[in-house]
Amino acid sequence: MRKPISLSAMMIAVFLFAGCVRVSELPTKTEPDPGEVTPETVETTEIAETSQIVETTQVVETTEITDALGACEPVTIGEWYPLFDDESFYEWKPSESQTTWSVVDGALVSNGPRSHLFYNGPIVLHDFKNFELKLQFKLEGQSNSGLFFHTKFSDAASPPQGYEVQINSSPKETRKTGSLFGVRGIYVDFVPDGQWADLWLKVTGNRIQVKINDVLLADYVQPDNPPRTRSGRVLSSGTFALQAHDPETKAAYRNIQVKILADDATDDGDTSYIPDPDPEFAKQIDEFGSRNVPLIDYHIHLRGGMTVEKAVIAQAKTGVQSGVLENSGAGWPLSDNEKIRAFIEAAEPFPVFIGMQVNDRDWFTAIDPELIALFDYILGDTMIMVDENGKAQKLWAEDEYSTDDLDAWLERYFQHCMTVANEPITIMANPTWLPPRVADHYDAFWNDDRMTQLIDAAVKNNVAFEIQVGSPFPNDKFIELAKSKGAKFTIGRNNTTADDKHDMLPSFEKMRKHELGADNMLLITPKLRD
């Protein structure tokens, strides 16, 4: 089934055996190097540790590996090779349950207890370093699957070595298809159930890129000494494995192909519109990722040249998932139901959260409720207040209103803040904001009693507080009080253009200072819109 070797391929034999040489230099079974864990010593250990019945199976497969070792299949760098012949398991080796995987209609299909299916064939003796891999996958129902790379055969519940690209449709798992498990989270599932989808994975040096259906989900540069809860989750070299996490998982894989890249290949795929993140920023993202703290910027405006496509690139690049939104109401981009519908439809095909920022105080009756229900979230703030005569006042525009009767105005403003906290919003941006004109009164105004009232209303209504990059609101005291009362938090950039403020370090600093973890950060369940 394999592609025949062409004359031109034979002529660059020097490159042909690059992968084979790296593996064949490992110690042989008869002369093991006690300090080295080779693929074969791993096999031997597994035999010793498993039961008699399994042992027999393992011995047979070890013989196959030896055969494969003797017949390292030459490959040409830069050409595609199939890793699965559409018919047999010969080159694949399951861990744990030996009956979970089968070949159905030219695809490797899981249906049974937990098992990982490792590529064990002759292509570079299943020890891949730099490569491109493409395959098609299909999930049915509540499936938890994944593609491991730079891994080694293991009967462990989860292979301890290498990375996993999450392939998942189970609601029990928040990290969806395209996540780099334990490193980068994608929380929006945009792959339709029961349909074949394309996965593309490229590793060059310390860069990992993942595309699903041609959409970039990760463009990750592994920093030096990356923070990890699992020490083996680092780049090295190794094989691929397909995951069947549990019996509910019905995953199918086909058209699995690999393209070997030279060991010293440098990245040529960085075509993003923003540069690689600062290493310090990257490390902090990794640290949050290792603790499964969802990092989601729910405040990305599609203005100033920002597009959904750029928001997708930004999340792949920075590791902070994107929530895109625009302002609604008269005079704003989403000024009527038609514009709202068009906004949702434009963002829907992409793996991003879709939100709406509301400004008018009658938004939830003015906008078609069926449209409101399509949004993943609604973000509101207190910067537009309705006066006694029903006129909307932009509180940042100081000529629009008077605070001559200061006490009366402040009391009315507080009632306005409580009104917003009781609207059906998901996130309150800039909580405890005060207009610059009355900023001197901040500490007296936002006393414990008023803070407590606002927090209690938000907690009761499931409204989270945004910690916005560049905003002094909310302050440390409010965050501590809100955290103690079980409030949820979000982070956000509130960008004005496509290029500003990709650096979210100020929000991260507040998250770390107040020890906001996975339990404190708002993770929205995205809407199923079709």
Residues that bind Zn ion in the complex, under the rule CB under 5 A = 357, 494
Nearest CB to Zn ion, comparing residues 318 and 494: 494
Nearest CB to Zn ion, comparing residues 328 and 494: 494
Distance CA 521, CA 512 (A): 12
CB of 303 to Zn ion, least distance (A): 9
Nearest CB to Zn ion, comparing residues 357 and 382: 357
Specify the 3-state DSSP secondary structure of 7: helix
CB of 360 to Zn ion, least distance (A): 14
Amino acid at 418: M
Sheet harboring 92-94: ordered strands across? Answer: 92-94, 115-119, 239-244, 144-151, 163-168
CB of 421 to Zn ion, least distance (A): 17
CB of 494 to Zn ion, least distance (A): 5
CB of 464 to Zn ion, least distance (A): 15
For residues 62, 57, 49, 181, the Cα torsion angle rounded to the nearest 10 degrees is 80
Specify the 3-state DSSP secondary structure of 416: helix
| Neighbour tally for 478: CB within 10 Å | 18
- Tokens 């030996």 sit at which residue? 98
Burial readout 102-137 (b: 16 or more C-beta within 10 A, e: otherwise): ebeeebbbbbbebbbbbbbbbbbbbbbbbbbbbbeb
Nearest CB to Zn ion, comparing residues 90 and 396: 396
Q: What is the CA radius of gyration of the chain?
A: 27
Q: 54: Cβ–Cβ under 8 A, 6 or more apart, which residues?
A: 98
List the beta bridge partners of residue 202.
132, 209
Nearest CB to Zn ion, comparing residues 151 and 357: 357
CB of 504 to Zn ion, least distance (A): 15
Task: Note the helical H segments in 71-112.
Answer: none
Nearest CB to Zn ion, comparing residues 102 and 496: 496
Q: Strands 377-380, 427-428: parallel, antiparallel or unpaired by DSSP?
A: parallel
Nearest CB to Zn ion, comparing residues 115 and 357: 357
CB of 380 to Zn ion, least distance (A): 10
Nearest CB to Zn ion, comparing residues 110 and 494: 494
CB of 466 to Zn ion, least distance (A): 9
Chain residue at closest Cβ approach to Zn ion: 494
